[in-house]
Amino acid sequence: MNKLEYRPWGTYEVLHDTSEAKVKVIEVEPRSRLSYQYHNKRSEEWTVIQGTLTVVLDDMEYELVYGDSISIPSCSKHRAWNKTDKPVRFVEVQTGTYFGEDDIIRLEDDYDRAEDDPYFHLADGNYIGGLTMPRENTNKLNKNE
């Protein structure tokens, strides 16, 4: 039997987990939402199986009902949001090269789990950090100007 995982916003159950794909059933409690996040190493497909789900995808909102699906490409900012007074459930199919929970880069989170590091995470899994400057100023580095 699969283990039900509890989160502040609801639950999920992993139905399938191989090197090719991971499949979850996710339930979001009324008036709750997941982090606004992205993944470097996986894409997701969400299909609603109960209720009405609001999806924020790259700052655009979509309302999905039973049977509706949405594709979430890797590196796309996204959030599942239940704006209703009833639980909402959807099936999530992950495809890509890695399905670990540590491939969640949280941008906003209602439960104080957002990333607070000073790094910019790149699509290849690497990151950069530190001071930045306008591109036009980079030619002045290491010069006596």
Measured between alpha carbons, how far is 31 from 71 in angstroms, rounded to an integer? 23
Instruction: Answer for the pair 53, 92: CB distance below 8 angstroms, yes or no.
Output: no
Instruction: Answer for the pair 46, 88: CB distance below 8 angstroms, yes or no.
Output: no
Instruction: Answer for the pair 26, 17: CB distance below 8 angstroms, yes or no.
Output: no
Q: What is the pTM of this model?
A: 0.77
pLDDT tens, 24-68? 999 999 999 999 999 999 999 999 999 999 999 999 999 999 999
Residue whose entry in the numeric block shows the structure tokens 């991971």: 22
Instruction: Answer for the pair 74, 124: CB distance below 8 angstroms, yes or no.
Output: no
pLDDT tens, 83-141? 999 999 999 999 999 998 888 888 988 888 765 543 444 545 444 444 444 444 444 44
Domains of the chain (ranges; CATH) run 4-140 (2.60.120.10)
